[in-house]
Structure 1
């Protein structure tokens, strides 16, 4: 054991990976629906490892933190700038006001309690579950000309305050928005009814099926033998497809076996009793058609044809601003279904009246030929790849860091966004640029996950290890009172946000709940809300406010230090 401890001290990189291993493992453990989460678990494990008095070089922490912030900006950039358009301005205005209420409430509580800048920054980071504030606040303190011992004491107390307030920040925000939120908006049953009404309104279309498609209900291909007397005189493929559309079902005939010969079909191909056909469409529509057409058959040869799922990035020059119903009406969508829509990494309901934005990634499913033909009409075919455009990432962080390093002096105190704030702003711009010109700057979803999660948690691991020796004493100093103050700092802005959404902005209840979760950047709360109201429509209000909230709350890490 002594040898292992010495190795960790001599090779601090191993201590970081020990922290990540144990932190990610602990973060996956659940008691009922509660878990500490990865970030808090990594921090606490880092504190334990830090008791061994391990010295970690500074640049490691900064490098990974800059990667994390750039990835955050890249992810939300398209929605951040999309919100500045006319139809997005109400949600932007709401997010700004709610984020201002977060800052003001936290600042007032810090003043009342007499907290120093480190305690205030930790309170903001934990109560609002915005871990990046830790790094931004540290960078700000480094540029304020503080005495080194004082600065270090402030920095050491930030993770302590964060850890104390984070638990309620996560669980409390989910509870407030999913349980208290619907009551403030008129009652749970009323909100449920409003969500169903919104689904019906957005799904209603003479040419398209109502409702939305879950990823759990993918497009499927099934084969049937025609036995119904409806086909006695022969029916064209287009007649059968139009028959399905009368019931609001988008089902397509993809293939046919006639007199033992397998062939492709055209709209005027005639179907007769005894023929075998392959239908494609949403699973809930295809399953059960044997009761009408005939028995389902299992035929490997008939079903052995290329089908494809393609992710497509919507561009400004194609269908940005158009509805799902508008896309479905085009001839190139024959045989093609929209499986999912992702906006800023968040899945939104595939409703007929859902409007698409530049940068949205939609998955289209169908036969290989039909899908590829439709994909080029919709936008840029974003074929899966493992390669990240590191030229794009490296240049973005460099430019952002240089911009953030610029400072102005107020009262002899240098004030700047810091390199971390600059990296975030650069990520916003480069992410928006990628949505306009998707031919370059690709960061695959898996790579984005690594930059986000590994980048942040590598930073948090170093923070925990560095704070370890002073953590226990710091925890005694802040005491139980900080937990209570953190609960107030979590709850008050959420209540203010709900009241603003209802009485000032007059949002639909589903949109109001989604906007509050987005402005607080709490995806866990969005899931809790959707479970409570039994609808996915709150996601429609989440993306724009999430982009604004992610940006402002991180920048508040600079503001809270300067204000206190």
Structure 2
């Protein structure tokens, strides 16, 4: 049995694998337990790592450092691939307000952290750890540790920063949710009234494509081509089917309009009102079930990367007289399939046409889910290489003696954001299925949390012996709740945001999935998810930069 004891106690590759596996497995198992309806999830991996380290279990430092950095890279890179398209969409004017409010939460948290730095005498690196724990942002912790190492900061080590993070984190998870509950009381929100308000708003503001049959009543259009309607509307609109001279067809832009024609239009609600004014009123006819039709409708998945480098209107293989592309569903969002769109791998395209034309279209775009199940690892690792290079570039700032780097947390994240959005144009296919992205992300964060826990637990008792731990808890709760309450009230009173929108916005401002889960359960709909996804990418970047900049300017 001596060999068995050595397997767990003597430093080796086998011992490191066993320790990491046990820490991660135990942490994930405990993460499924809910206390007062709240779960700490994968953060239990950090707590188990701290306990093991406190008990004297350790692994070789070089191995621990590599696993920690590589786990962090996998985590942030997977996040970048997932949220990249949404990040660039969030920069549009319609989402600037949400991002400004969420960024204000970050700024307030930083200001409170600076105040505590001057009033308590704690090292700024420790305060960066408290701040990262107070907003449940693990990449911020990694950025702080990276900055301490790169700047060769004296007087503090990374294990103390990890302890400050770990002590603040559990109270932050509860503090964020308690802030949402408190805001509901302060704003006097009635959940049923809020749900009814969103039902009305969704009906008025929805950008999802509608499908409506409209009868041609504008006599001036008779004898004109369908192209005339497109020119008059001058916005993305599709005519998927048309009852023309007793037959249901898929019209081309050159089809000549006749008296009595009925067309099935696909457009957003706002554009559809414009179509009705130009063409006519709704018809009771349903061309999808019309017996004279030989047209079918199918949802086809884009799985050939060769088709993703051109505008939809510039792909000759899909230009058929008996085929019409009506909608594209991407990342849960539906849009009208107009000619200026670039297809992306994983897009689901709704097409209407004859059976032969639909089959030909499916062959052009792929429609083979097996291709998507096997990710192309080459471009992904090439992106990681570019991210590491970007994170290692030194930036020189006047009056700062040491060059600044965005580090292993910032570089891969920024590269992944850009490649997820523009990689197809560079022939770098970074597509991953949701399940593949999730397993990479969870594996990365589990390895990182286990590493920081195993390297920091030996100082756990000292943190509470001298009273530091209790002070970190108080400061952390303040950094957690005060910005959320202030910006929540401002968002409601001055920006007219609904409570469900505010919940998603504040959960995104803390990059906190448990808070989002609570908000979704409270709302009974996906409204909080929309604002969470809108602000999450920008806030993730700001949290990483904030932790680094605090150490840069105050040490």
Please confirm whether the aligned pair reaches a TM-score higher than 0.5, indicating the same fold.
Answer: yes
Q: Quote the offset at 1:196 in angstroms.
A: 2.2
Q: Quote the offset at 1:490 in angstroms.
A: 0.9
Q: 1:450 aligns with which of 436, 439, 447?
A: 439
Structure 1 residue 426 and structure 2 residue 415: aligned?
yes
Q: 1:48 aligns with which of 43, 48, 51?
A: 51
Once residues 176 and 284 of structure 2 are traced to their aligned partners in structure 1, the CA distance between those partners, rounded to angstroms, is 39
> Is the contact made by 1:92 and 1:544 (CA closer than 8 Å) also made in structure 2?
yes
Q: 2:382 aligns with which of 381, 395, 407?
A: 395
Structure 1 residue 173 and structure 2 residue 176: aligned?
yes
Which has the larger displacement, 40-49 or 366-375?
366-375
Structure 1 residue 267 and structure 2 residue 274: aligned?
no
1:414 alignment partner, SS class? coil
> Is the contact made by 2:323 and 2:358 (CA closer than 8 Å) also made in structure 1?
no
Q: 1:161 aligns with which of 161, 164, 180?
A: 164
Once residues 543 and 330 of structure 2 are traced to their aligned partners in structure 1, the CA distance between those partners, rounded to angstroms, is 26
Structure 1 residue 407 and structure 2 residue 410: aligned?
no
Q: Quote the offset at 1:491 in angstroms.
A: 0.8
RMSD across aligned positions (CA):
4.2
Q: Quote the offset at 1:115 in angstroms.
A: 2.0
Per-residue CA deviations over 1:310-362 (Å, capped at 9, x if unaligned) read 4789999459xxxxxxxxxx98478xx98x763xxxx57x799xxx9987966
Q: Quote the offset at 1:374 in angstroms.
A: 8.0
Q: Quote the offset at 1:458 in angstroms.
A: 0.3
Per-residue CA deviations over 1:218-253 (Å, capped at 9, x if unaligned) read xxxxxxxxxxxxxxxxxx999xx99xxx99999965
| CA shift in 2, pair 1:136/1:365, >3 Å | same
Q: Quote the offset at 1:191 in angstroms.
A: 3.0
Which has the larger displacement, 393-402 or 404-413?
404-413
| CA shift in 2, pair 1:428/1:371, >3 Å | same
> Is the contact made by 1:145 and 1:413 (CA closer than 8 Å) also made in structure 2?
no
| CA shift in 2, pair 1:316/1:83, >3 Å | farther
Residue of structure 2 equivalent to 1:502? 492
> Is the contact made by 1:123 and 1:486 (CA closer than 8 Å) also made in structure 2?
yes
> Is the contact made by 2:516 and 2:529 (CA closer than 8 Å) also made in structure 1?
yes
Per-residue CA deviations over 1:481-526 (Å, capped at 9, x if unaligned) read 3222211111112123223423444445543433332232223323
Per-residue CA deviations over 1:255-284 (Å, capped at 9, x if unaligned) read xxxxxxxxxx76279xxxxxxxxx99xxxx
1:427 alignment partner, SS class? helix
Which has the larger displacement, 85-94 or 160-169?
85-94
Structure 2 residues without counterparts, runs of 5 or longer: 213-246, 250-262, 265-281, 314-321
Once residues 375 and 94 of structure 1 are traced to their aligned partners in structure 2, the CA distance between those partners, rounded to angstroms, is 44
> Is the contact made by 2:511 and 2:536 (CA closer than 8 Å) also made in structure 1?
yes
2:404 alignment partner, SS class? strand
Once residues 489 and 373 of structure 1 are traced to their aligned partners in structure 2, the CA distance between those partners, rounded to angstroms, is 58
Q: Quote the offset at 1:127 in angstroms.
A: 1.0
Q: TM-score, normalised by structure 1?
A: 0.69
Once residues 266 and 436 of structure 1 are traced to their aligned partners in structure 2, the CA distance between those partners, rounded to angstroms, is 43
Once residues 205 and 520 of structure 1 are traced to their aligned partners in structure 2, the CA distance between those partners, rounded to angstroms, is 29
> Is the contact made by 2:139 and 2:409 (CA closer than 8 Å) also made in structure 1?
no
Residue of structure 2 equivalent to 1:275? none
Once residues 286 and 182 of structure 2 are traced to their aligned partners in structure 1, the CA distance between those partners, rounded to angstroms, is 39
Q: Quote the offset at 1:124 in angstroms.
A: 1.6
Per-residue CA deviations over 1:12-50 (Å, capped at 9, x if unaligned) read 232111211111111122235222211x21011112222
Residue of structure 1 equivalent to 2:510? 520
Q: How many residue pairs get matched?
A: 463
Which structure 2 residues correspond to residues 4-23 of structure 1 after superposition, within 5 A? 4=4, 6-8=6-8, 9-11=10-12, 12-23=16-27
1:415 alignment partner, SS class? coil
> Is the contact made by 1:36 and 1:167 (CA closer than 8 Å) also made in structure 2?
yes
Which structure 2 residues correspond to residues 201-216 of structure 1 after superposition, within 5 A? 201-202=204-205, 208=211
> Is the contact made by 2:20 and 2:450 (CA closer than 8 Å) also made in structure 1?
yes
Q: Quote the offset at 1:394 in angstroms.
A: 2.1
Structure 1 residues without counterparts, runs of 5 or longer: 210-235, 255-264, 270-278, 281-306, 320-329
Q: 2:109 aligns with which of 102, 121, 125?
A: 102
Which structure 2 residues correspond to residues 242-257 of structure 1 after superposition, within 5 A? none
Q: Quote the offset at 1:143 in angstroms.
A: 1.4
Q: Quote the offset at 1:176 in angstroms.
A: 2.0
